[in-house]
Amino acid sequence: MKQTEKQTLGEKTAQNLLEMIQQKEYAPGDKLPTEAELVETLGVGRNTVREALRILMSRNIVIIRQGSGTFISEKNGVADDPLGFFMMDDRRQLTEDLIQARLILEPALAALAAQNGLEEEIKDLERILEELEELIRDKKDYSEKDSQFHAQIATCSHNRVMTNLIPVITEGVRVFADSVEETEYEQTYIHRRILKPSGMAGRRCKTGNVFPPDVQP
């Protein structure tokens, strides 16, 4: 019974600590107060603070560096392999499934981006797409720019769930993509197609920007 009460206190303390992080607007990479300071601030014992930190660390909200302290995670709560991709044997099929999942999600997400995206965000998206296509045409490594493109769509949508989910899928594609060969045309077509949900291509979003038309075969 005591163990259950202690766990409940630890979870409550973890929630209080998370609220403190949000209220004080800690940014990724910022260092949290020392353990002793958290004990005083949160009004609980040292062991409870440690348990709360372990809970937040398991959610990838904070990271603990031995000898340095506790810091806000730079991965926005997304663990390295939250969906267990590395346990799947067929890497080729996994990559194809990830790309398919992204194609299912992102056209609707792009429509949301057209509605919610700020002018500067949309301009950044268009710039990233142009730079990405140039890298593909020049047959240069475009993996980092590809990740930026998909992350920027999520950013423009202002949907916090997708802002965390899309990077997980994109990272999976990046890690396992060497098992799938795609032509230059297929890559360009895929990226342009994402920006054409429900005939959105060529239409002006509320900021006045125009999404590029689809590439025709």
Residues 64 and 135 in one domain: no
Residues 147 and 94 in one domain: yes
Residues 54 and 121 in one domain: no
Mean of pLDDT values over 109-120: 90
In the chain, what percentage of residues exceed pLDDT 90? Answer: 24
Q: What is the pLDDT of residue 215?
A: 33
User: Token pair 């890690």 is at which residue?
Assistant: 175
Which of the two residues, 44 and 185, has the higher pLDDT score?
A: 44
Distance (Å, whole) CA 17 – CA 24: 11
Q: Residue 66 belongs to a domain with what CATH number?
A: 1.10.10.10
Residues 100 and 65 in one domain: no
Cβ atoms of 159 and 115 closer than 8 Å: no
Name the strand (E) or helix (H) holding 137. Answer: helix 119-137
Mean of pLDDT values over 26-40: 92
Cβ atoms of 63 and 76 closer than 8 Å: no
Residues 103 and 181 in one domain: yes
Mean pLDDT of the chain: 77
Q: Does residue 211 lie within any of the structural domains?
A: no
Which of the two residues, 155 and 147, has the higher pLDDT score?
A: 155
Per-residue pLDDT at 213 exceeds 50: no
Q: What is the pLDDT of residue 81?
A: 64
Q: What is the pLDDT of residue 154?
A: 92
Q: Does residue 95 lie within any of the structural domains?
A: yes
**What does R_g of the chain's alpha carbons equal in angstroms?**
21
Per-residue pLDDT at 61 exceeds 90: no
What are the structure tokens assigned to 9, written together? 């206190």
Residues 189 and 139 in one domain: yes
CA dihedral 7, 8, 13, 14 (to 10 degrees): 70
Mean of pLDDT values over 75-89: 64
Mean of pLDDT values over 105-126: 90
Q: What is the pLDDT of residue 204?
A: 43
Which of the two residues, 207 and 83, has the higher pLDDT score?
A: 83
Distance (Å, whole) CA 24 – CA 110: 32
Residues 58 and 110 in one domain: no
Residues 102 and 164 in one domain: yes
Please give the residue range of the domain that contains residue 147: 85-199
Q: Residue 165 belongs to a domain with what CATH number?
A: 1.20.120
Residues 89 and 194 in one domain: yes
Which of the two residues, 113 and 173, has the higher pLDDT score?
A: 113
Q: What is the pLDDT of residue 82?
A: 67
Per-residue pLDDT at 214 exceeds 70: no
Q: What is the pLDDT of residue 78?
A: 55
Which of the two residues, 48 and 93, has the higher pLDDT score?
A: 48
Residues 96 and 29 in one domain: no
The one-letter amino acid at 131: E
Residues 40 and 95 in one domain: no
Q: What is the pLDDT of residues 159-200, one digit of tens each?
A: 989 988 888 888 777 766 655 555 443 455 566 666 654 334
Residues 13 and 90 in one domain: no
* Number of domain units in the chain: 2
